[in-house]
Structure 1
């Protein structure tokens, strides 16, 4: 089960199953203002850069006690590309949607505003991972790719735990017939993740359950999932909610994990 916990100024959820410092941060506890209020960690937004830098330092402090701990994130492209993080790549964010490491002292951060963040840990073999699983990435295999990269660093399938963070949930995720068809072209069994919508041309898609199913298909046994719907939660940024409100931009919350120094 995921719990809500207050650490310093940042509000986050964490999974009891992952022993390493980690958290699914909300939009609370930062310094940004207006539509970015307040813990916006996304450099891809039009927020004031200095505020984003401060917010990411607050995330680092919440997880490690040190604001200067490197917080790595990706130039997310809705792919299945997974990279290894061996050191701080600073502003040179690789185009990818997942990362893994066995290097202590790095915070792996995934940015979302409705897509599904997934954190991974293998405490026995000291390997961690983080993935951005939007529907495109999940459908193309980003979760399997993340696990494969962890295995290449010495992790073992039976000792990997995954935690699914806040994401858009089925009641809030209306999609069209062509969207559904993309899934059924891959596998007719994916129809179980779609419920009837407002008419024959629309459906409600269950992204977190699709992600959970994909994780189980890889062989993982320890999978935990948040019940928070980012669209309905005022404590989270939501791309879809922003679009429906005709706002000019939106913030990104961070989900992060770190491998502590021995």
Structure 2
């Protein structure tokens, strides 16, 4: 099956892609393009999937840069391949042509950043914790350190869990109210004491408040479309032992 690669016009001429699960070699609960090296999928199959992604982005396997994601606000700047190393971070930026920055997700926000004028790109993994702790703003700061200007940066949020699928408890709301009482607008009433959190809207809010040029969500819900997307929450609800990871990539 051919790879399915979603793109966003807002990122301009910069080569990028939010890859769906279609076109991969994995089977079982990982059926499709599972690129999660931390999953329990067969490592050689994950390697095949990642090679297919690298080929689609016209880079070598070594030039497909990845990090060890841990829901932090940490960003690394790269100018050479990491040669298999995976530093702990949740965002990557570069001004070096030929390096493809990759982020893995399975409900969290994959956010790709582009400033074609300055020749700087970035990629961030922004779950609720990372977004709340400032990973999106930290990515903009790192891009500015490479010569970009945030008003010239555009960002696209890829497939993420939508509000209707993201049920949370009252203690979750408390964390957001401590950051800003106005954050209650990203929560809708659910059943009993539960609420529905709008993660993409919150991500867009943080980006726009930080002064980015333009930002958008491409409006695909990972939970609601099992044929195209992996979802941690959907897999948990189904009682599955593990789940695949989607990959999102951008390069100069």
Where does structure 1 lack aligned partners over 5 or more consecutive residues? 1-7
Displacement, 1:69? Answer: 5.8
Unaligned runs of 5+ in 2: none
Taking the aligned partners of 1:89 and 1:68, their CA distance within structure 2 comes to: 11
- Distance of 1:90 and 1:254 partners within structure 2: 19
Alignment of 1:55-74 (within 5 A): 55-64=49-58, 66-68=59-61, 70-74=63-67
Q: Which residue of 2 aligns with 1:3?
A: none
The equivalent position to 2:197 in structure 1, one of 205, 221, 227, is 205
* Whole-angstrom distance in 1 between the partners of 2:220 and 2:61: 30
CA drift of 1:85 comes to: 1.2
Report the counterpart of residue 133 of structure 1 in structure 2: 126
Listed as ranges, the matches of 1:44-63 within 5 Å are: 44-63=38-57
Counterpart of 2:160 in structure 1 is 167
CA distance in 2, matches of 1:163, 1:90: 28
Q: Distance in 2 between the 1:69 and 1:247 partners?
A: 32
Whether the 8 Å CA contact 1:98–1:132 is kept in 2: the answer is: yes
Offset at residue 220 of structure 1 (A): 1.2
Partner of 1:4: none
Contact 1:69 1:107 survives alignment (8 Å)? no
Q: Match of 2:234, SS?
A: helix
Shift of 1:90: 3.3
Output aligned runs, 1:1-262, within 5 Å. Answer: 9-18=2-11, 19-64=13-58, 66-68=59-61, 70-199=63-192, 201-234=193-226, 235-259=228-252
Equivalences, count: 250
